[in-house]
Every structure is written in C-alpha cells, then in structure tokens.
Copies of this chain bind each other. A is one copy, B any other.
C-alpha cells in the first residue's frame, strides 16, 4: 500500500518511482555500505528495479560506489554509500543569548557547527533578523565555496510559530507577530531551496530522533530546559504540531496553584517551579540570576552537585520532582516511549532523573509509567539547529529528492 493517509491525492507511476527511490535511500542511510543485491534482498524490490533505482540515484549524485568486496565466494559486490559531498542541509537557531548554525551533508555528517553570542532579548526583531540573515549568508557563502547545493534551511525559534513561519509569540526574544519566514526570504533574495521556521524544541526532538541513539523511537519527547521549558513531541513517528502549530507548551502546565508567579501571569506553572530561574534561586540563593548568564550558573551548579553540596542536591531533587510531575502528565496523555531531558537539563540530568522517575511512576495511571523512560539527551546546545538540518534530511528521506 502506498499511502494510508495521503488524503485525496491520487497516485501514478512517478509516485511509485519516488517512493522506491526513497526506500533505497533510507536503506543506504541506515545500512551503508551495501550492495545492490543487499538492497534487493532487504527491501523486497526486484534486483533489476534496484539497479535502475541506484543508477538514478548515482546520476542525481545522492549515492556513490565505493569499491568491491573481496575474498568472498561468488562475484564481488560493488558497495554503495550515500554521497554526502554535493549537498548541504542548513539549520539555524535564534535564542535569547546566542545564534547557532549547523550544516549537515546528505549522509548526516556535520560539516559546520557555529555558535555566536547575541543579545536577542535586547534587540528589536528587525535587528535580530538582520543578525540571523548575516549568519545565514556567511553559512551559505561557505557552503557555496565548497560547491555544495543547499537542500533547504530551517530556523528554530523559542516560541509559537504558525504554519506560515510567522512567530506569534516568543517571550524570551520579546517577539510578537513577527513574520520571520518572509523577512528571511527577502534578506536571502528569495532562494530556490525551501526555507522553514519552526519551534526550537520541535526541531530538537527531530535531532534527538535522528542522532540521539534511541533507535527508531516512534514516540519521543524532548524537553528543552532553559528559562522556559518547551517540549518537542514526536507521536507515531511524526512531529506533533496541533491545529495551529502551538503544541508542546510544556512549561505552562499548572503544578501548584500557590506557587510562584510565572512570566505568563499565572502562578505555579511548571517553568516557574522547575525552570532554570527557579533552580538557580534554590541552589544559589546568593546569586541574582539573569537569563543571559544561565550558562555559568549551570556550570557552578554542576560542580557543586558533583562535590555533593547538600543545598544544590536538594534544589536539583526538587526540580526533578516538579519535572517528574509534568512528565507524568505527558505520560498519561501521550504515553511516549522516552522523554529526553535537553537544553540546560542535559548536564544536570543525573541528579534530576531519579526524582523525576519516582514522580512519573507515582503519577501515571498505566503501570510502570506506561513504559515511559526518562533519559538525558545525547545532544548539546546545538540540538535545535542540528534538528533544523535534520528536518531537511527528513524531507529527502520521505521522497522529496532534489531535482537532478
């Protein structure tokens, strides 16, 4: 069956071809290097069909032959791999205090990983977009110098992004109703490659799915710990966006009606209880935490935790408990297989997970937390940008091959 949910779109031979090209490409992504015969055996496609498909992919420079096997009975096989070299997928991220850029080749190898500091909260949207466009241009220039074709560019933003790439609301950037996609299209001179804008946690979960080592987890959540706490949610293998693209606002789950005031105006939101601001206040009460200095404070907490400082350990345990209460809500509603603690939570995860898991087990209706595991993300702060690039690769893997 070709499609069980393609809506009203009829199919023709071109669709068969595109589907099968994508099947071969995906097989090579996961099992390279392998021969045409291997692909035929693994996919069920006819050997002749595989030969035809591989010829096509080689002509499009998506696949490359890398030499023969030796010392085996029978005719030696010509091994195939994805050919990353002629293409590049670009991911960018705007955040309150930095911009990041990641470029992947077709095979998923990281070609570039830049991070530059940036005063997002202090800038106007126009200034921020200019900085972002400047970074994009530097990246594009480097990619072009290497004679790579750009497959697409995705920008992650810490806020609500609608389906047209308009940032409805990004509190930490001070943005509201910013048409980021349109502005960037203009700044980059109406490029021919796809340019997308997405929520940063949504992109991070794509990166976690592709690079996080959780295998082919079809139901995965990434929690982006920072001043706020965003969630990127993958259900049944697909990113969950909701009707208007505003899904995943994990940080505003109500945890304690008598809790501290949250930036959104309510009391006791999860991020007011378990966000970095609250953690720093609890762990380092002498410090006055400002969002632009989270990094050093997290390092300090990390060091003190390793040294066994009791106040820090208790602060982390409390944060883990609140997080666990939020994760229990996720588990009851979405029953994910895995929740990855990302952002600033990643390095602190060893001290957060035990208490979070305890709350999860206590708070979930299904036994054993419905099978939900809590883990530390395998990624660093480049996750959203890497996910942006991975998002482009996902489209390729799904069959949207670049035209030859």
Using a CB–CB cutoff of 8 Å, the interface residues on chain A facing chain B are: 1-6, 8-13, 15-16, 18-20, 23, 26-27, 42-45, 160, 168-169, 218-219, 231, 233, 235-238, 240-250, 252-254, 256-257, 264, 266, 325, 328-330, 332-337, 362-367, 370-372, 398-400
Of the residues B2, B169, B250, contact of A3 by C-beta under 8 Å: B2
User: A1 CB to closest chain B CB, in angstroms?
Assistant: 5
Show 26 A/B contacts (Cβ-Cβ < 8 Å), sorted by A.
A1-B18, A1-B400, A2-B6, A2-B11, A2-B16, A2-B18, A3-B399, A4-B398, A4-B399, A8-B23, A8-B26, A8-B27, A11-B15, A11-B23, A169-B366, A238-B238, A242-B335, A244-B366, A244-B371, A245-B335, A246-B370, A250-B332, A252-B365, A253-B333, A266-B362, A330-B333
B45 lies within 8 A of A10 (CB): yes
Say whether B20 contacts A10, CB under 8 Å: yes
Number of copies: 2
Considering the chains assembled together, what is the distance between the CA atoms of A153 and B325 in angstroms? Answer: 38
The interface residues of chain B lying within 8 Å CB-to-CB of A257 are 256
With the chains together, A257 CA to B257 CA distance in Å? 9
Interface majority SS on A: helix, strand, loop or mixed?
A: loop
Report yes or no: B16 in contact with A16, Cβ–Cβ below 8 A.
Answer: yes
Taking CB atoms, residues of chain B closer than 8 Å to A253 are 329, 332-333
Chain B nearest CB from A399 CB (Å) reads 5
Contact B246 A366 (CB under 8 A): yes
A364 CB to nearest B CB, Å? 8
B27 with A1: CB separation less than 8 A: no
**Quick one: which of B3, B160, B366 contacts A6, CB cutoff 8 A?**
B3
